[in-house]
Every structure is written in structure tokens, then in C-alpha cells.
Amino acid sequence: MNNSNSASVQEDTEATILNDLIIDAIQDVKGKGIKKYDLRQLDEASTDFFIICHGSSSAQLSGILSNIERKVIKELGIRPNHTEGKMSKNWRLIDYFSVVVHVFAEDKRGFYNLDDLWSDAIVTAYEDI
């Protein structure tokens, strides 16, 4: 295998591990409607993956965000590049460069409509736990 293929496989493996860990962290605190959008084939995308979910309260949104940060730091030693909306009751974002996580209040998820905006992506839906 040449070096470019080896680097690509390693990047895919690292992305899979990060995505799986984020999804697990969301499920730990009962986040709902989890979907992963693989955007790598879309030229207009600013990241490789979006993970979108929703919660039922501001406290749950905070819990989801905190659990993601805690698990990713503990398991992978990776800190987010950027977070937004920590004071918002409706939406939070955590950016890991190749993966951006959007956590919405249930009623605001439809309003912002990111699910339809990125419908050209390869979408994986996860069962609510």
C-alpha cells in the first residue's frame, strides 16, 4: 500500500473512532434523533461529518455537550476546536475540525432544518435508547 492510501485509511479509522465515541456520548445522556451525515463527497461542505441530535431541555443539551467533551478528552485526548451556544437554550455546537456536532432543542431542530439542508450526504440514523 502506498503512503497516500495508508494515510487515507488511518484518517477514516480515526474519523470512525471519533464519530462512534461522540454518538455513544450522546446516547449516554439520552439524546434523541441522532443522525450522522457523511459530507466528504460534497464539495460545498466545510467539514467531513455532521452529527445532529436533539434533547428535551436546556439542561439535557448542556449534559450532551459536556459528556461529548469529557469522553473525547478522556478516550482520545482531543479537545474541541470551538464550541458555540453554551448559553443558548435552543442549540449547541461542538467542532472537532473533521466532525461538527449540532445539539438542538427538539422544537428548534425542525426550524433550523439542517437535516434537509444536508440531505445529499450519506446519512446514518441511530435508534433512540
The total domain count for the chain is 1
SS (H, E, C) the chain: CCHHHHHHHHHHHHHHHHHHHHHHHHHHCCCEEEEEEECCCCCCCCCCEEEEEEECCHHHHHHHHHHHHHHHHHHHCCCCCEEECCCCCCEEEEECCCEEEEEEEHHHHHHHCHHHHCCCCEEEECCCC
pLDDT tens digits in sequence order for the chain, 129 residues long: 455 555 555 667 888 999 999 999 999 999 999 999 999 999 989 999 999 999 999 999 999 999 999 999 999 999 999 999 888 889 999 999 999 999 999 999 988 888 898 889 999 999 998
pTM: 0.89
CATH number at residue 25: 3.30.460.10
pLDDT value, residue 95: 97
Residue 100's domain comprises 3-125
